[in-house]
Structure 1
Amino acid sequence: MRTALTRLVGVRYPIVQTGMGWVAGPRLVSAVASAGGLGILASATMSLPELRSAVREVRSRTGAPFGVNLRADAGDAASRARLLIDEGVRVASFALAPSPSLIATLKDAGVVVIPSVGAVRHAVKVAGWGADAVIVQGGEGGGHTGDVATTLLLPSVVDAVDIPVVAAGGFFDGRGLVAALAYGAAGVAMGTRFLLTAESTVPAAVKEAYLAHGLDGTVVTTRVDGLPHRVLRTELVASLESSRLRGLASAVRNAARFRRRTGLTWPALLRDGHALRRGRSLSWAQVLMAANTPMLLRAGLVEGRTDTGVLAAGQVVGAIDDLPTCAELVDRIMKEADDIVAHLPRESNVPEG
């Protein structure tokens, strides 16, 4: 299936695996790439040496194109972009809008730049700055999210920009892919669906916890890091919602743990916090809570501690009931999509008159 996305990044199928922190490592990314989709490596929780090693591991596992997700507001964003250029990574994706200069640096080196956006104005802005494509996530999506449904946000963005648009938020099968293409998208991006695959390194017990939730099994909370965050409904989330003091105390401890793990200095953490706060109505208490996120997610997604960890999830979790390999999943989605397209009505059912 050829679309503007497959032509742009050189993959076989218009399916993207998003850069989920602690989840999108070399094993998952290379499996998606080998299956014909675009796998995106999550780098925000990695040091520079760890990122270089992860990129090289992906390349040792597959010769297919893949991408790396970067934090545009990180203090070392330029160094990470240079690493991608030096290592010949095909795609750079961003959770926040990269600066025009960073976009230009990457594009001049032949790297495809694909920011993720949650509003029409953000899509217009990055398109004007030279982004090659955008991933548009509706409110159904997991992790940091907005409040506009994909079915409304997607066509609005498609109408507003002249670059390829990839749809995210609520996709898990061939029906969703065909629907996104009908709206004008060039493909779909999926996080939760790829988290729940055989190659995902998330502990088996945590995967089972995901599968046990229904369509109402997620909640959008600001108590994890001060920003709207869609996560699974758990006792920990309920506790954070009810106790501000517990959330702030946890944030202080986890900020220190994250600093030690990544080697960041306190001044570097503060600089990143200042960048996060800029342009948003966040208090410094909320900025401090933002340091909470990596370690809370790690506790659940890596250590399997569902009692003390946070589990980001899209609403689509309630529509998923299996753990296929990435190859099986991509093949199934494409077969479903082809079958749907082949059986679309060719004539109008409206009587002539």
Structure 2
Amino acid sequence: MNTRVTELLGIRYPIIQGGMAWVAEQHLAAAVSEAGGLGLIGGASAPGEVIRDMLRDAKRLTDAPVGVNVMLMSPHADDVARVVIEEGVKVVTTGAGMPSKYMEDWKKAGIKVIPVVASVAQARIMERLGADAVVAEGTESGGHIGEATTMTLLPQVVDAVKIPVIGAGGIADGRGMMAAFMLGASGVQIGTRFVASTEAVVSEAYKNRIVKAKDIDSTVTGRTYGHPVRSLRNDMTREYTRLEAEGKSFEELEYLTLGSLRKAVQEGDVIRGTVMAGQIAGLIQDIKPCREIIEDMMRECHELARKAADFV
């Protein structure tokens, strides 16, 4: 499938794996890239040298390009921004801030820069800064979210900018992918579906919680203080919601979640940890290799395209 995104990034399929904190490491990223998509190593709050080691491991696992998601609010963002240049990374996605201070150096190094945006205004700003594409991420996504849904945000961003737009949020199969294309996207970013993959180096309890999730299991905490996070309901989210309703301070609420994502991802505590996942978790029924996930999505998407052509 040739789209503006496959041409821009030199990949076989217009599928990007989300740069999820504590999840998007070298094994998952390499598996997605090897299967024809673009795998990303999530910078999160990791020091630059940790990202360097992950990138070098990824190069031993695949000859295909692997990108990096740079979390701009990280205290190590400057180091990670430098490391991606030194390690010859070809694609960077960004989140949680403005990448303007790094753009000139990244562009000189030949890096394709793709910010994640949650509004039309953000998309226009990123285009003016020189972004090569944007990821329009709807509120259905797991983790830190905006307010607009993918269905409403994606076509508005497509109409607002000339650069390619990648749809994200609530996409886990070929139907969601096809829907994104119909709304004007040139590619999709997938997160939760890849968490429930064979290659994802996360606890089996985390994967199984996603597989067992129902459509009503998704919840959002942190809206009171403007830091909404989507995850799956458990004892931790229920306590957070109770304390939030009682008017506890932002600092008290943050202390409750301190280290909770790592607790779920690495230790398998899906009761007290934060199980970040998108609303689409209820659709995911199994754990399988990234190659199968991608090939199944592409097969279904092509079948839907052929059916759509019959109606023309």
Bucket of the pairwise TM-score, normalised by the shorter protein: over 0.9
Asked if the contact 2:205–2:270 (Cα under 8 Å) also holds between the matched residues in 1, the reply is no
CA contact (8 A) 1:5 1:164 kept: yes
User: What CA distance in whole angstroms lies between the structure 1 residues aligned with 2:223 and 2:149?
Assistant: 22
CA contact (8 A) 1:223 1:240 kept: no
Structure 1 residue 143: Cα displacement: 0.7
User: Which of these two proteins has the greater Rg computed from alpha carbons?
Assistant: 1
Shift of 1:210: 1.7
1:174 aligns with 2:204: no
Give the structure 1 partner of residue 230 of structure 2.
Answer: 230
* Contact 1:70/1:92 (8 A) holds in 2: yes
SS in 1 for 2:206: helix
Q: 1:224 to 1:29 in 2, by over 3 A?
A: farther
Alignment of 1:38-57 (within 5 A): 38-57=38-57
Distance, in Å, in 1 between the alignment partners of 2:46 and 2:59 is 17
TM-score (norm 2): 0.94
Is residue 231–residue 311 contact of structure 1 (8 Å, CA) maintained in 2? yes
Deviations 1:100-153 (A, max 9, x none): 231121111101101101111011111111111111111111111122111110
The 1:310/1:200 distance shift into structure 2, 3 A limit, reads same
Give the match for residue 291 of structure 2: 327
1:132-151 equivalences in 2 (<5 Å): 132-151=132-151
Answer whether contact 1:5 1:187 (CA < 8 A) is retained: yes
Q: Residues 293, 84 of structure 1: CA spacing in aligned structure 2 closer, same or farther, 3 A cutoff? A: farther
Q: CA RMSD in A?
A: 2.2
For 1:338 and 1:294, the matched residues in 2 are separated by 43
Residues 288 and 235 of structure 1, relative CA distance in 2, 3 Å threshold:
closer
Q: SS in structure 2 opposite 1:33?
A: helix
- Contact residue 243 and residue 253 of structure 2 kept, 8 A: no
Q: State the alpha-carbon separation in 2 of the partners of residues 34 and 247 from structure 1.
A: 48
After superposition, the C-alpha distances for 1:50-88 in whole angstroms (9 at most, x for unaligned) are 111001001110011111011223343232111101101
Is 2:165 the counterpart of 1:201?
no
How many angstroms apart in 2 are the aligned matches of 1:291 and 1:104? 37
Contact 1:226/1:286, CA 8 A, preserved across alignment: no
2:71 corresponds in structure 1 to 71
For residue 267 of structure 2, give the secondary structure of its aligned residue in structure 1.
Answer: coil
Output one character per residue of 1:180-218: Cα deviation in whole Å (capped at 9) or x when no partner: 112110111111000011111121122112211111111
Deviation at 1:3, TM superposition (A): 0.7
Q: Does 1:315 align with 2:279?
A: yes
| More moved, 39-48 vs 14-23 | 39-48
Mapped pair 1:163 → 2:170 = no
Over 3 Å counting, the alpha-carbon distance change for 1:160 and 1:294 in structure 2 is: farther
Q: In structure 1, what residue type is equivalent to 2:70?
A: L
2:283 corresponds to which letter in structure 1? A
Q: Cα distance, 1:245 vs. partner?
A: 11
Letter matched to residue 55 of structure 1: L
For structure 1, which runs of at least 5 residues remain unmatched after alignment? Answer: 249-284, 349-353
How far the C-alpha of 1:26 sits from its partner, in A, is 0.8
**Counterpart residue type for residue 38 of structure 1:** L
Which residue of structure 2 aligns with residue 80 of structure 1?
80
Answer yes or no: is the 8 Å Cα contact 1:140–1:314 preserved in 2.
Answer: yes
Q: Which runs of no fewer than 5 residues in structure 2 stay unpaired?
A: none
Residue 56 of structure 1: SS of its match in structure 2?
Answer: helix
**Shift in alpha-carbon separation, 1:287–1:18, aligned structure 2, 3 A:** farther
> 1:34 offset after TM fit, Å?
0.2
Normalised TM-score (structure 1): 0.83
The one-character-per-residue Cα deviations of 1:306-341 (angstroms, maximum 9, x if unpaired) are 222111110000011011100111111111111221
Q: How many residues align?
A: 312
Q: 1:191 is matched with which residue? A: 191
Structure 2 partner of 1:271: none
SS of the residue corresponding to residue 67 of structure 1 reads strand
Q: Which moved more, 1:305-314 or 1:12-21?
A: 305-314
* Fraction of identical pairs, as percent: 38
Give, in whole Å, the separation in 1 of the partners of 2:75 and 2:280.
34
1:28 aligned residue = 28
Equivalent in the alignment of 1:268: none
Q: Which residue number corresponds to residue 253 of structure 1?
A: none
